[in-house]
Structure 1
């Protein structure tokens, strides 16, 4: 069979309007290509709300089990054709869902488990098949969807067999979802701890009471334009950490790539969406490292993307180097990396305002060197905070590595199940 044979109906997209009007009064959440990875990782917060007409509500609303395909976009290394499954969880959390007009949605026939089709499509995508079905319009790559559906084969399996494969793969995805939720909850705790102690200044005083709320002495700081606890200071970021640039080895020389030096690009941080980074999509060789001006960064360095986009922040948990899209910080004391991470995250809007440039904005090293950073006067309080944060961070890193291992296991299992090289033991598919 061909993929075209298993499609019941197509549902086109609608970007709608930013604000409601008499013509577009209905609020919906609109899934874009940019939302595919976050939704797959069970993160729904950034899906934009738009306003659409009644005809869109009547004919384009999506339901659980629908599949959204990215038709336009991609990059030289990423084809169009990415897919995301509309889950019950997504519908429960967001309610009215449509896809954007750069996407389309598919609803499969009743004898097909839509999750099985999702996994099958993902396996085809992982083998770069959709590069063969792309055209360009005004510099944007477009998926020739009809051609792809008519050309790509899918073997018929009884629904019972589809369900067994889905049970195995979705069990891994469920564990991934739980791990991500635990990690997100731990991150909310860690951020709240930073805000409570070093933004509101309600760290515990000598009596264990909230410092500022209990009348702790404060003094106005001209550089920060706010009051800070007496005895605390403000210095330049360069006095707190070394600031390093990154660079890219020539891509024309294949000998620069494929080595054992971890090399990070902003895409690695965008894809992983993690507090920590310890591997990238591509490594470079010693030759590649020596051929450019990138810097080797020790474990616990803080990486910040400084252009396209500004503001992705992560802590290195391996020796790494970066491309030119980063400014990276090596704290004078390695225990300061957690504090620096949250300080930069909290002040990222001010850092973004330092960006200059016409094609895209970039934050310069010189501007970052002069950026103010608050240093904690109460050293015992600071040490206590670091210990609490390290306890949270250790749990998060362990979960992050387990997520990576489970994802690798699922992605390696996927083609084996789809082409019949592996079968499901009966107990793995039991409810």
Structure 2
């Protein structure tokens, strides 16, 4: 058995958790510097055994672990709550737009999508809402990127966060970069879907944004809300994937996408109001997750280094939990 693994067996639970936080968040740079190997970089056990760190008293370890774990637990709780809230919203959508539950006592008519409530229409998504693509400013022109303040999303942003709402992009472009590319600026609360390589990741921007060319973005309006558009994409993903083509990688073209059919509804105010409440709860939880993550990122290195007093950190965390 490795001496490193053997020694772990005799650590207290608190020390193990403390070590987890220490290695994961505080000594990453050191470990990266120790990373040796070319084809398959790796860290050898002997190098880990040579790692020297300051370990506080057991009591201090317990307090630090308690602070960090309480933040992690709250973040995890919010994520689980959001999963449940989104499932509730999806059930609500299916009740109104798939099963037509509220309209069962009324008349139904034939359409390209089957029987639908009288007064509803079946139209192309390209006629229903504005459908935008994206673009990428030349990466060699620093004026397009340096000190940029415009959110510019790539599919990686969505695949990394996997969240109904998304606030910030990992890269930003300048106004000049926007003007000199085919990227299109759109307002908050539009529905973005990745349409190239990784197809079907969906998220709603909380701030003004644009995307690269690997997206199709739907701009909601009074008739077609972001709630209907979001779940329409979710429930029609198999159909969307079926129209993807390409040899190097699959892509859904805007031309083909715009021909897909969507229902133009009537008398869905109740659906919109109920869905709005659920989405606001989800967004509120996500905002809290961002705040808790920022607090954790601030406290963690300072707690581990002893720069900040543990009691002071406990009070700060108590105020936000």
TM-score (normalizing by structure 2) = 0.87
1:167 pairs with 2:66: yes
1:218 pairs with 2:108: yes
In structure 1, runs of 5+ residues without a counterpart are: 10-106, 206-210
1:294 pairs with 2:183: yes
**Alignment CA distance shift 1:363-1:388 (3 Å):** same
SS of structure 1 residue aligned to 2:193: strand
Q: Which sits farther off after the overlay, 279-288 or 351-360?
A: 279-288
CA distance in 2: counterparts of 1:148 and 1:389, whole angstroms = 54
1:236 pairs with 2:135: no
1:419 pairs with 2:305: yes
CA distance in 2: counterparts of 1:159 and 1:7, whole angstroms = 21
In structure 2, runs of 5+ residues without a counterpart are: 316-321
Shift of 1:364: 0.6
More strand per residue: 1 or 2? 1
More helix per residue: 1 or 2? 2
CA distance in 2: counterparts of 1:125 and 1:362, whole angstroms = 41
Pairwise CA RMSD:
2.6
Counterpart in the other structure of 1:312: 201
Q: How does 1:181-200 map to 2 (within 5 A)?
A: 181-200=80-99
Q: Which has the higher contact order (CA 8 A, sep 6+)?
A: 2
CA distance in 1: counterparts of 2:22 and 2:184, whole angstroms = 41
CA distance in 1: counterparts of 2:78 and 2:140, whole angstroms = 40
**Alignment CA distance shift 1:244-1:426 (3 Å):** closer
Q: Deviations over 1:245-294 (max 9, x none)?
A: 11222333444143211111222222222111221122222232233211
Shift of 1:156: 3.0
Q: How does 1:29-428 map to 2 (within 5 A)?
A: 109-111=10-12, 113-124=15-26, 127=29, 129-130=31-32, 133=35, 135=37, 137=39, 142-146=41-45, 149-150=48-49, 152-203=51-102, 205=103, 211=104, 216-221=106-111, 223-224=112-113, 226-255=114-143, 256-333=145-222, 336-376=225-265, 379-380=266-267, 382-425=268-311, 428=314
TM-score (normalizing by structure 1) = 0.66
Shift of 1:340: 0.7
**Alignment CA distance shift 1:109-1:358 (3 Å):** farther
**Alignment CA distance shift 1:7-1:416 (3 Å):** farther
Counterpart in the other structure of 2:319: none
Q: Is this contact kept in 2: 1:263–1:283, CA < 8 A?
A: yes
CA distance in 2: counterparts of 1:328 and 1:173, whole angstroms = 33
Counterpart in the other structure of 1:44: none
